[in-house]
C-alpha cells in the first residue's frame, strides 16, 4: 500500500506564491500571510535574536556602571548612559533588520525560484515590494517592542515619564523609513550585487553618525550639524525624547517626510531592478 508523501516546503511555498496572482491589490497582504505561515521563519529568529541582543545589552549595562558621563545626558531624565545607549542599540537593530534581513529574504526568493514567479504575476512591482517588505517590517516592530519590554522590566530602563504614543509613532515611522532604504539596497543588490555588504556598511555608518553609542555633540567639526539629515538621527532623537516624556513630534514629522520621499523612490528602483534582472535572466540564482 502506498501513501501520499507530504508536500515539500518548497512545493508548498510555490503553491502559496502562485496563489498571489489572484490577490490583485491585496498582494502585500497575501505575501505577508504566506510568510507568516512559515512558523520557523518567524518564531526562532525572534527568540534567538532576543537572547543574543540581551547578552549584548548586558555588556553595556556593566559598562555603564563604570562609565558615568559628567552631568549625565539631557535625553533622559535619569541621565544614565545605559538608558542612552540601550535605545540606540534597539533602533540600530531595527535598521539592521530593515536592510540586511530584507536583502536576505529577496535573495532567498531568488534561490527558491519564487521571485521569478512573483514577477510573472499580474501585480505591480510596487505592491510586490511592499509585500516582500511587510514581514521584515512586522518583525522589526515586534523586535523593538520585545526589547523595550525586557529592558524596562529587567534592566531598569527609565520609562517612568514615557509617552507611549510617541514611542509607537516614532518606531513605526522610523521602521517604515528604514524599510524604504532597504528597498533601495535590494534594488542595488539585484542590479550590481553585494547589497548585503552595502547594508552592513550602512548600518555601521548610521551607528557612528546618528548618536547610537555617544551624543552627537562628541563628533568633530561640522559633523553634528550635517547629521541632521539622517533619518536614523531623527529616529533616535525622537525615540529618546518620547521615552523621557519630551517633544517627539518634530522628529516624527521629519521621519514621515523621509518615508514619503524614500518609499516611492525605493519602489521605483525595485521595479527598474526587476526589469533589468529579467532581461539578464538573473531573477533565479543558485
Tens-of-pLDDT digits for all 286 residues of the chain?
444 444 444 444 454 444 445 445 566 666 767 666 765 555 666 677 677 777 777 777 777 777 655 555 554 445 578 888 889 988 988 888 888 888 888 888 888 787 788 777 777 888 888 888 888 888 888 888 888 988 888 888 888 888 999 999 999 999 999 999 999 998 888 888 777 788 888 888 998 899 888 888 888 888 888 898 999 999 999 999 999 888 999 999 999 999 999 999 999 999 998 888 888 877 777 6
What pTM, to 2 d.p., does this model score? Answer: 0.80
Extract long-range pairs of 200-205: CB within 8 Å, 24+ residues apart.
200/100, 202/95, 202/99, 203/92, 203/95, 203/96, 203/99, 203/100
Predicted pLDDT at 43: 60
CB of 112 closer than 8 Å to CB of 261: no
CB of 107 closer than 8 Å to CB of 284: no
Predicted pLDDT at 248: 94
Contacts of 221 (CB under 8 A, 6+ apart): none
What is the SS3 assignment for 236? Answer: helix
Where do the domains of the chain lie? 27-278
154: Cα separation from own chain's centroid:
24
Which grid coordinates are listed for 108? Answer: 532567498
CB of 165 closer than 8 Å to CB of 134: no
Closest CA to 20 of 109, 147, 107: 109
Using CA atoms, how far residue 115 sits from 101, 112, 125, 227, 281, in Å, is 16, 8, 11, 36, 12
Residue with grid cell 535572466, as numbered in its chain? 281
Burial class (CB in 10 A: 0-12, 13-18, 19+), 185: buried
Supply the DSSP string of 169-203, one letter for each residue.
Answer: HHHHHHHHHHHHHHHHHHHHHHHHS-HHHHHHHHH
Closest CA to 68 of 81, 87, 83: 81
d(CA 82, CA 181): 28
Predicted pLDDT at 214: 84
Predicted pLDDT at 108: 81
Amino acid at each position: 500500500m502506498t501513501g501520499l508523501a507530504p508536500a515539500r516546503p518548497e512545493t508548498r511555498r510555490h503553491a502559496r506564491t502562485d496563489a498571489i496572482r489572484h490577490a490583485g491589490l491585496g498582494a502585500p497582504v497575501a505575501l505577508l500571510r504566506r510568510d507568516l505561515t512559515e512558523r520557523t521563519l518567524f518564531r526562532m529568529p525572534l527568540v534567538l535574536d532576543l537572547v543574543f541582543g540581551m547578552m549584548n545589552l548586558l555588556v553595556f549595562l556593566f559598562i555603564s556602571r563604570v562609565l558615568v558621563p559628567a552631568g549625565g545626558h539631557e535625553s533622559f531624565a535619569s541621565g544614565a548612559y545605559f538608558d542612552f545607549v540601550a535605545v540606540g542599540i534597539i533602533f540600530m537593530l531595527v535598521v539592521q533588520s530593515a536592510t540586511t534581513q530584507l536583502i536576505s529574504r529577496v535573495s532567498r526568493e531568488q534561490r527558491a525560484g519564487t521571485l521569478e514567479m512573483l514577477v510573472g504575476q499580474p501585480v505591480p512591482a510596487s505592491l510586490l515590494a511592499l509585500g516582500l517588505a511587510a514581514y521584515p517590517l512586522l518583525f522589526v516592530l515586534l523586535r523593538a517592542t520585545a526589547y523595550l519590554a525586557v529592558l524596562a522590566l529587567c534592566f531598569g530602563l527609565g520609562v517612568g515619564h514615557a509617552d507611549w504614543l510617541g514611542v509607537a509613532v516614532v518606531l513605526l515611522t522610523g521602521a517604515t523609513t528604514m524599510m524604504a532604504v532597504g528597498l533601495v539596497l535590494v534594488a542595488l543588490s539585484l542590479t550590481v550585487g553585494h547589497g548585503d555588504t552595502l547594508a552592513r556598511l550602512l548600518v555601521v555608518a548610521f551607528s557612528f553618525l546618528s548618536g547610537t553609542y555617544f551624543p552627537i555633540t562628541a563628533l568633530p567639526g561640522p559633523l553634528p550639524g550635517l547629521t541632521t539629515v539622517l533619518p536614523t538621527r531623527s529616529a533616535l532623537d525622537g525615540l529618546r525624547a518620547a521615552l523621557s516624556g519630551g517633544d517627539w513630534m518634530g522628529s516624527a514629522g521629519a521621519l514621515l517626510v523621509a518615508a514619503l520621499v524614500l518609499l516611492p523612490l525605493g519602489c521605483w528602483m525595485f521595479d527598474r531592478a526587476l526589469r533589468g534582472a529579467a532581461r539578464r535572466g538573473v531573477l533565479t540564482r543558485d
